[in-house]
Structure 1
């Protein structure tokens, strides 16, 4: 039996995720730099922003950012983190499986976000929120990476995002050895499947890759991630 990634799930997730002076803030994804560094800033949506690391980093690069998440707990942390960084953003509590923006964005990003609709349906949905000439960046968990399974609670290897799994929601194990976290299979995808969602008459797929990297978890221990990274430009 799989997850119901609804508001109650994410509120509980964030309340269970430690916060305090002894807990590390996971930094923003390196894919912001490798995939978006050459873009001219405009309006941006981070869908499933969690604690706001990526949204805040985008704002520091000149983007006018809306960070959207289903979890009020996550958004409170994101707002506090932004205030500490001196960043100005718009924070929006929203169910991304049902919410619709009033206008499209020049950039739509999502990092490991999982609402209570099928994962690929979610990606297809947020793709429609990209303005002509704009960019879509999807970062998700690889199907088959991190020993995906069919049920139970998966440990999130990267960012715990409300609306999606948040920065470091689980605990790494194994001493000095990097741990491959487990993810429920319904929260995983393959790069080819994500890219196939994007009609080539409307989109140019720039990146569709499956990458492996290591990050520290909230306690500073190494954690392996198997990422799906898809970047596309809308015609």
Structure 2
């Protein structure tokens, strides 16, 4: 962390709990119901229909109909749901001061996420954090095959900032974040808000996982005195 001159944040988890009030489980179920209403329930397996993750539903449809109007409609519906969720998102403890401190000492920041970049910008604007990241927000595009664990959004961020992977750090909370960082050659810091997430990250091979960003903030402050 002391060597990092560029920090890539995942959004939902390290920066905020996007679905704290507007549950992801309900969003996934609504997407499944919408597909059923279009007579397209058969596009999903039983496991995918029961998924609690809206991205599982979106990816499943994209695998069968990549680049289709159907996928575009489903992705827009998910973006709208994420936008509703952003209004009740819960900031991750210590994330705001950590972001501001890193920005103040000259570390360049980016968001690299599978969420809609439009929604990320809405959230950052509401928290007064836009200037800490702008213009480096890299999120979901219509090319869903490029979602993490593909490193596409990380590579976009690195290229845009002129950053060597070894000079960067990614903070994420899922195995897909870890895999994307590895593929991009970026050191990884895991954030886990509970024991289950810590176990999942550790089992995926994360070398360092923290359960609070407070220690990271303290280290950044000490390193840059």
Return the structure number with greater relative CO, CA threshold 8 A, min gap 6.
2
Greater Cα radius of gyration, structure 1 or 2:
2
Question: Does the pair score TM above 0.5?
Answer: no
- Pairwise TM-score range, normalised by the shorter structure: 0.3 to 0.5
What is the TM-score with the length of structure 2 in the denominator?
0.40
